[in-house]
Structure 1
């Protein structure tokens, strides 16, 4: 490496096997209607709306952590031609946040309700917030360890945080990882769920639900996918109709995957109905009948569960977007990997380690691994410039998280 390389940065050639060269690969994705994914989306939208409110009213953001969200499923009366909720979902928020800035009350409960209602309406069919949602708020504003005063009872402007404040430091010790590109199996698993829960498929198949879970395996060059996809009880009138509709949807999915992969994979849809019982829901999720969701139990930040890859167990959704490096560096790790892969044409892994109180633009270690790379000064210079620029512009990630949103599921 050149002398210009920062002492926190290490660049390594990775001479191991490419993921595509492994004889066996496994991938999973929990779809947008899965209770765990719902919780991730709710938590992240709540953080975004809360931060937006603070910026619009105070110019800065109050400290908050909405990353402890649980969804307790409701009850439903489901049969052929029937799908009615008889008990609502309960969504519990636990964490920390400010309820006021000085004398200005922050409508925290309203913000949380809005975030939850909008999210659930997007990933179910027929959801009505005031009928189907019970919200419990257990957000506290207590003083943290080692703090002279509570960060969650701000009285003065300096008690709030400006986006891009150069005094910001890491709130925690974190290990984050990213990689690019996705493998063929990873792309297939990701995109088939996006297909089923996308607008065109839902328009053509309005009787399908949203709690889609996809499992994929590859044995050498042979692909196998299992898709769990509920149907809406109110729109299915017999077991015969259920199986007929499942066959029609299976064919659409198979056509999509065959075109995507360049070969026809083995495809199994709704293996649970081999016992003769159909997969029916009221609103399109197993949350209709009591299943529970929790933040961080589902997809990793790239929307997949990839046990054969480097991946962090960090749960970024709902965490403070200004200084929680488990969230910020998680986004950075994946974006850096994609950017470096695009620039160098080599499959890339990124690994970032930071300790508590480290400046946001200077984590403890950044490790870049490039597949089949031969060290050379030109590439090293390019990598250094990209890494330095991204670390120097961490506030851009915060702004995107707050005002535009970054999908983490």
Structure 2
């Protein structure tokens, strides 16, 4: 493999694996926030206890995914300078600020709020505690917004001017309202909510099919997940199609691949616009397959969830075990669809890294092929190991159920227990 192919493989693999963490984080945290709000404002003690356990169970799965996933995120931005210094030199003045804001929000604000939420069980007032998890959700989506602003500039550059071969920001408002970023954010939001709700739906169905003692907890989780998964799985494809007019205007080769257009004709047009060169993305046929896979999965999940809603009548969904196992088997579907969409969006704009201005070959750093081969192998191995670790932990705690939940569990602090063991014990949250 050439140096540029190794660099592309490394970035594609690490970004793709990192994205699987991100989409689950974005999809799961709003559901946990709703559960916590529901529990905090429930007056009936018995129902409140069930909903608190529900919050802690799903919250623990979210925390596992966030904790492991944030390690993968630390690597991403370093690669811009290590492997793609040409991109930083050309466009760093434009998307440097969005990337910095994304880092501040994701690695400082979001993690701070999450830490306070994790260790706030039993110590914070319920209103403050609930507010913290909503702030975690808000910062998660704010982080996604800023990273898509940076990516949107690479897809469709706006609000800039080029001086001496370097892009400079001239219109911050245009950058913030780039339609390539905003429509993508809406699509990603729906995809994330579908992913998180399908996970909750599948795990809840798994426990109900096995005859769990926590029937009320998982029945409530299943109903909430269906309430979210049904509309989001339907509208995610609709919002995704809203990007097609933008692609026809700004990335005609990608649009032609999606719509089965004449690639040779588009190639001739682009060669006339940008000069001689091959403007077909690599493995163009596979891009159509990736896009079709995403669409088929979206409509499949939508159809299954609609049937599940109908089966809620007279509790048939819980009693019909084959369908419950189908819901469990559906858990990987949104992740596969998400990867397909990511491949289409990123690979489909090749050979450009900043569309119309900077090619992938020109953006590559002056790094030896041997160095790239070593870093590629090491990074992919580490990321795969982290992904396996993440899903091993999630699967283990999901199968064990609420009784194995450690989030929000409390134990007495030795220094707070008076000598002789009398008096009221102060409780400290443990994770």
Please indicate the TM-score interval, normalised by the length of the shorter structure.
under 0.3
The structure whose residues are more often helix, as a share, is: 2
What's the TM-score once normalised by structure 1's chain length?
0.26
